Structure 1
Amino acid sequence: MSALFNFQSLLLVILLLICTSTYTHYVFPSIMDRNRDGVLGIFWKCARIGERLSPYVSICCVLMAVSLFMGS
């Protein structure tokens, strides 16, 4: 089943996108800051979400890991 049709998988993809964008912005801030507009602006926005809401994103990652562990 595709991640678009499974809500839990869609949430996992969004969390991974936020976490990856935040880490990439931490390592390469100039590349991310240059691409604020357009299609690549999605990654910049995800990085901002990860930086500003990091405790909540961390809690969501832990809850998702626990739910995936319990589900399998």
Structure 2
Amino acid sequence: MTALFNFQSLILVILLTICTSTYAHYYFPAFIDRNKNNYFMGVFWKCARVGERMSPYIALGLVVMAMMEFWG
């Protein structure tokens, strides 16, 4: 089953995309900022912004998802 049809996997993919985009923006800010108006790469710019501004909530979501994977 792909991540698109399983809600828990979809949330995990979204959280990991946000974390990866934030990490990439920290090390390569010019690359992410240059492509913010591009349709495909703009998604990563938006994910980086969400990761920067909501990092405690994203971290909490990842911890909850890790616990659900461990016990579920």
**Which structure 2 residue ranges, 5 or more long, are not aligned?**
none
Q: Which runs of 4+ in 1 moved over 2 A?
A: none
Deviation at 1:6, TM superposition (A): 0.3
Aligned counterparts, 1:8-23, within 5 A: 8-23=8-23
The C-alpha deviation readout for 1:24-52, integer Å capped at 9, x for no partner, is 00000000000001210000000000000
Q: Secondary structure at the match of 1:25?
A: helix
For residues 68 and 50 of structure 1, the distance between their equivalents in structure 2, rounded to whole angstroms, comes to 22
What is the TM-score of this pair, normalised by structure 1?
A: 0.96
Matched, 1:2 2:7: no
What is the TM-score of this pair, normalised by structure 2?
A: 0.96
Matched, 1:30 2:30: yes
**Which structure 1 residue ranges, 5 or more long, are not aligned?**
none
For residues 55 and 31 of structure 1, the distance between their equivalents in structure 2, rounded to whole angstroms, comes to 25
For residues 7 and 52 of structure 1, the distance between their equivalents in structure 2, rounded to whole angstroms, comes to 24
The C-alpha deviation readout for 1:10-68, integer Å capped at 9, x for no partner, is 00000010000000000000000000012100000000000000000000000000000
